[in-house]
Amino acid sequence: MLLIHERNGRYTCQRGLLAVFVYVFVSTRVLNYLKFRLHIFHVKQFFHGYFRIHILFTSLLGLLLLSGCNLNSRMSTFKARGPVAEAQLDLFYITLWVVVGLFIAVGGVLLIAVIKFREKKGDTSPLPSHGHGNPLVEIGLIGGSVLLLVVIAVPTLRAIWFTHDLPIQPESELKAWYPGDDVAEGEESNILTVNVIGYQWWWAFEYPQLGITTANELIIPAGKAVKLNLRSVDVIHSFWLPQIAGKVDLIPGRANYMWIQAGDTFEKWAEKNVPEGSEAGQKLAYENYLEDEIHDYYYGQCAEFCGESHARMLFRASVVGDDEFGAWVSDIKTGNQAPEGMSWKDWYANYDKSPEVLTGDVHEGLKLFMGRAKCATCHAVNGNPRALGVAGPNLTHLARRYSLAAGWLNHRTEDGAVDIEQQYKNFVKWIDKTEEVKPGNLMWKANGGGIGELIDAEGELSLLTEEEVHKISIYLQTLK
Q: Which residues bind ligand CUA (CB under 6 A)?
A: 198, 201, 237, 302, 304-306, 310, 313
CB of 89 to ligand CUA, least distance (A): 23
Residues 6 or more apart in contact with residue 54 via CB below 8 angstroms: 27
CB of 260 to ligand CUA, least distance (A): 18
CB of 303 to ligand CUA, least distance (A): 7
Residue nearer to ligand CUA on the CB measure, 202 or 475: 202
CB of 301 to ligand CUA, least distance (A): 8
Residue nearer to ligand CUA on the CB measure, 218 or 313: 313
Torsion of CA 403, 5, 320, 176, to 10 degrees: 120
Burial (0-12, 13-18, 19+ Cβ within 10 Å), 325: buried
CB of 315 to ligand CUA, least distance (A): 10
Rounded Cα distance between 18 and 14, Å, is 6
Rounded Cα distance between 6 and 12, Å, is 10
User: Please, are residues 301 and 237 in contact by the beta-carbon 8 Å criterion?
Assistant: no
- Nearest 5°: phi and psi at 237? -120, 175
Residues 6 or more apart in contact with residue 116 via CB below 8 angstroms: none
3-state secondary structure 226-252: EEEEEEECCCCEEEEECCCEEEEEECC
CB of 64 to ligand CUA, least distance (A): 29
Question: Rg for the chain (alpha carbons), in Å?
Answer: 30
Edge-first strand order for the sheet with 202-207 is 212-215, 202-207, 192-199, 225-232, 256-261
Residue nearer to ligand CUA on the CB measure, 424 or 444: 444
CB of 65 to ligand CUA, least distance (A): 25
Please give the biggest Cα pair distance in the chain.
108
CB of 446 to ligand CUA, least distance (A): 18
Rounded Cα distance between 137 and 145, Å, is 12
Query: What is the β-pairing status of strands 225-232 and 237-241?
Result: unpaired
Residue nearer to ligand CUA on the CB measure, 85 or 306: 306
Residue nearer to ligand CUA on the CB measure, 295 or 438: 438
Strand partners, 116: none
Residue nearer to ligand CUA on the CB measure, 302 or 431: 302
User: Please, are residues 238 and 249 in contact by the beta-carbon 8 Å criterion?
Assistant: yes
**Run of H or E residues at 221:** strand 217-221
Rounded Cα distance between 189 and 174, Å, is 6
Residue nearer to ligand CUA on the CB measure, 233 or 455: 233
User: Please, are residues 312 and 250 in contact by the beta-carbon 8 Å criterion?
Assistant: no
| Three-state SS at 318 | strand
Residue nearer to ligand CUA on the CB measure, 80 or 302: 302
CB of 304 to ligand CUA, least distance (A): 5
Residue nearer to ligand CUA on the CB measure, 294 or 317: 317
| Three-state SS at 357 | helix
Residue nearer to ligand CUA on the CB measure, 329 or 409: 409
- Nearest 5°: phi and psi at 74? -75, -10
Residue nearer to ligand CUA on the CB measure, 241 or 302: 302
Query: What is the β-pairing status of strands 225-232 and 192-199?
Result: parallel
